[in-house]
Chains A and B, each alone.
Chain A
Amino acid sequence: MNQEQTEEMKNTKEKIAFTSTGGSMESLLSEQFGRCQYFIIVDPETGKFDAISNLGEQMQSGAGPKAAELIHHHGANVVVTGHVGDKAEDVLKRVNIKIVTGYKGNIKVKDALTEYLSK
């Protein structure tokens, strides 16, 4: 990591990407990273969120790294999901996105957010 990037990291606010089965905070979290239907990207300071549909759902292969690219381009620096594959993990690490895994698909995105923030 070069100087510039480190600086950028310090100055940017936290932006959390949740893998989701739907386009709202009420949707259930998706356990799959590469093949989730939506990413909900939340700014915890303002509570505002963006729902981005994930094309990887239909991809034959290579969905994981592409999903990592997608959330990177939307400015996420944390991802909360069930499980991340090796190739996607490599990409996420290279762009300094923090990976939080182990979440189950039975909770809503908004609850996952509360839970994550309480940690």
Chain B
Amino acid sequence: MNDLKISIASGKGGTGKTTIAASLASIIPNSVYIDCDVEEPNGHLLLKPKINTEEFVSKLLPKIDPFKCTVCGNCVEVCEFNALINLKFEITLIDEMCHGCGACAYFCPEKAITEIEKPIGVIRRGITEDNIYFIDGLLNIGEVAAAPLIKAVKKKIPEGGTAPYNTAIGKGTSSYKKGIIAVKNEFYDSQIDNETTSYKKEIPKGRDDFDKNDFDNKIFSDNKSFLDNVKPESSSSEYFKTYIIDSPPGTSCSMVEAVIDSDYCVLVTESTPFGLNDLKLAMEVLKTIRVPFGVVINKYDDSYREMEKYLEESKTDLLLKIPFDRKYAVSYSKGILPLVLYPELRTDFFDLYETIKRMIGLEMGKVQSV
């Protein structure tokens, strides 16, 4: 079995998606929790990771040399994101609209456009007390390019069956090891990682009682203890690692970016007509991009029957119902995962995880038999 990528999405905000995602991550040993809700990443409030690295992510913005530009308008025409405006006497760029695709520079006949980097957000990585690996992205305020940042965050999820942290020791060129080196160097200066076009910078002193030596030890010792638990993929078909991807709410292109390559998507909804309506929209998206999914009804209210009726009619898998309970909300508002305080929820989440694995198994069987 390979790694599992499970995304947690929701057609609307406020359904408790992050609580579900963080809870699920918390009961899976050595799982990796990835918060892709970059406009409002809240997972760290519940999982309370110790952040080891912060990387600044940039996008490339075109810069037009007014002396070379003849205002021919080619660049404006090829820009699909409406980021360039032809003022007739010059071309102007609307920074926030630009996705940094580079088309304008490529098509400029005068070679008047060069590309410069502009920071759009930061990727934070760390580990929780319970050994849950933590990655999140935080978008700069006013920045619209959520999808590129999500893409950068997801680049931290290695492709294929290798776990992210064990390659650091085995292969000298892995990006993680480079990461460590870069972070070390930053105590002297900052360095650009060409591969990801991200800078790694010194973490400001004082944050989380940050201590360099402690940090180095932590990473290497974590690697070691982690490696001890890891069997190489080839020697055991049982080994896999689970990634929990917390998607942005809604059905925008950032949601698609977050869930697109997952093995399974858990759609979180609530027992209200609005919940049902947004659930339908999210289901449409997942069907289009062919990601298998099931539904968790949070804040379940058994007087609202339409939800279950709809799921039954549409033959959608209902994975779990979490009854509405004030105490869960109170625990969340204090930044504590409800399952920490209320063990009955733990069993629910173990069951949820088992169900998802079974579902993925079924999906794979389906694919193979076709």
Contact = CB atoms under 8 A, between A and B. Distances in A.
Which of B82, B87, B88, B144 lies at the interface centre, i.e. has the most chain A CB atoms within 10 A of its CB? Answer: B82
Contacts of B86: 69, 73
A109 B8 CA distance: 49
A61 B88 contact: no
A91 B92 contact: yes
A68 interface: yes
Given A61-B144, A87-B94, A66 B88 contact: no
**Interface SS of B by simple majority:** loop
Interface in A3-57: 5
B85 interface: yes
A71 to B, nearest CB: 12
Nearest to B97: A62
A110 interface: no
A72 interface: yes
A99 B65 CA distance: 30
Contact of A62 (B81, B88, B89, B92): B81
Given A61-B82, A61-B144, A66-B82, A95 B87 contact: yes
B180 interface: no
Interface residues of A, number: 15
Contacts of B144: 61
A87 B86 CA distance: 14
B83 interface: yes
Contacts of A72: 87-88
Contacts of B83: 62
A72 B97 CA distance: 20
A102 B94 CA distance: 25
A61 B83 CA distance: 10
A100 interface: no
Contacts of B88: 72-73, 95
Contacts of A62: 81-83, 94, 97
Contacts of A95: 87-88
B85 A65 contact: yes
A61 B89 CA distance: 24
A94 interface: yes
A62 B82 CA distance: 6
A61 B98 CA distance: 11
B85 A59 contact: no
Given A62-B94, A65-B97, A91-B92, 13 more contacts: A61-B144, A62-B81, A63-B82, A65-B85, A65-B94, A66-B85, A68-B85, A69-B76, A72-B88, A87-B94, A87-B97, A91-B85, A94-B87
Query: Which 6 A-B pairs have CB atoms at the shortest separation, nearest pair first?
Result: A62-B82, A62-B97, A69-B85, A65-B85, A66-B82, A95-B87
23 contacts: A5-B89, A61-B82, A61-B97, A61-B144, A62-B81, A62-B83, A63-B82, A65-B97, A66-B82, A66-B85, A69-B76, A69-B85, A69-B86, A72-B88, A73-B86, A87-B94, A87-B96, A87-B97, A91-B87, A91-B92, A94-B87, A94-B92, A95-B88
